[in-house]
Chain A
Amino acid sequence: MEMKQKIFIIKPSFLILAAMVILFLGMRAALIIIVSVIIHELGHLIAIWLCGGFVRKLKIGALGAEIFFSGSFSYGKDLLIALSGPTASLVAAAVSGSIAGYFTSEIAYYFAGINLIYGLLNLLPSSPLDGGRALYSIFSLIFGPFVADKVQIFFDFICCFSAMIAGIYVFSETGRNLTLLLCAILLISNCCKTHKSSVEFRKQYFS
Chain B
Amino acid sequence: MVYEGKPYPKRGKRKKRTRVKIETVKSGTKLLVCLWVLFLAILIKFVFPSTAANIQETVLTFLENSVDYSSAVRVLGEAVSGEKDFLEAISQAYNYAFRLSSDEVEVYAQSEDIDVVDDDIPESELYYNVPSDAQETEVDKQEIYSPDIQSGDETEDEHVAEQENDNFDDAVSAFIESQELYAHLGVPENVTYDKPELDIDSVVPVIGTVTSHFGYRDHPVEGEIIFHYGTDIGADKGQDVLAFADGSVYAVGDSSSYGLYIILQHDNGIETLYAHLDSVDVEGGDSISKGEKIGSVGDSGNATGPCLHFELMQNEIYLNPEYYVQWK
Contact = CB atoms under 8 A, between A and B. Distances in A.
B29 to A, nearest CB: 9
Contacts of A10: 31
A186 interface: no
Interface stretch (B39-47, B141-149, B153-161, B175-183): B39-47
Contact of A179 (B6, B7, B18, B67): B67
Contacts of B56: 23-24
Contacts of A25: 69-70, 115-116
B34 interface: yes
A68 B21 CA distance: 10
A97 B77 contact: yes
Interface string A105-121: 01111111110110000
Interface residues of B, number: 68
B27 A12 contact: yes
Contact of A98 (B13, B35, B37, B81): B81
Contacts, number: 181
Interface string B1-12: 111101101011
A196 interface: no
Contacts of A170: 98
Given A3-B20, A174-B100, A177-B99, A70 B4 contact: yes
B19 interface: yes
A155 interface: no
Interface string A1-34: 0011110011111111011101111111100000
A93 interface: yes
A116 B12 CA distance: 32
Contact of B80 (A6, A26, A71, A116): A116
A106 B81 contact: no
Interface of B: 1-4, 6-7, 9, 11-23, 27, 30-31, 33-35, 37-38, 40-42, 44-45, 52, 55-56, 59-60, 62-64, 67, 69-70, 72-83, 97-100, 102, 112-116, 118-119
25 contacts: A10-B31, A12-B27, A12-B30, A23-B44, A23-B45, A26-B114, A54-B2, A72-B3, A74-B13, A75-B12, A96-B77, A97-B81, A97-B82, A100-B80, A109-B73, A110-B77, A112-B81, A113-B73, A113-B74, A114-B73, A114-B77, A145-B14, A179-B67, A180-B98, A201-B17
Interface of A: 3-6, 9-16, 18-20, 22-29, 53-54, 56, 68-75, 78, 93-94, 96-98, 100-101, 106-114, 116-117, 140-141, 144-146, 170, 173-177, 179-180, 197, 201, 205-206
